Amino acid sequence: MVVLQLLCLLITANGAPVLAQWLLREWGAAPIDGGRILRDGYPLLGTSKTWRGLAAALLATPLAALLVGVDALTGIL
């Protein structure tokens, strides 16, 4: 049962940013790393780490944790 609960939380944490991108389009699409480019020419955190995605994951995962019977703090962690 614990494995299924954790799987649900992982799916939520990874799927929430995708859903947020589809719903919110360009809102909050600023990169977390501020667009910083490293010497190798690649962004510090990659091209898909946005404030919108971080906020979506941090809001959706605790809610999903409560739905599967786990403490909300566990969902944030």
Among 10, 9, 22, CA closest to 53: 22
Q: Give the model's confidence band at 5: pLDDT under 50 very low, under 70 low, under 90 confident, else very high.
A: confident
Summarised one tens digit per residue, pLDDT across range 18-69 is: 998 888 888 877 888 887 889 998 888 887 888 999 999 999 999 999 999 9
Regarding pTM above 0.85, the answer is: no
Q: Are 28 and 59 in contact (CB under 8 A)?
A: no
Any residues with CB less than 8 A from the CB of 52 and at least 6 apart, and which? Answer: 17, 20, 21, 24, 27, 28, 29
Q: Give the model's confidence band at 75: pLDDT under 50 very low, under 70 low, under 90 confident, else very high.
A: confident
Amino acid at 35: G
- For 26-69, what is the HEC assignment? CCCCCECCCCCECCCCCECCCCCCEHHHHHHHHHHHHHHHHHCC
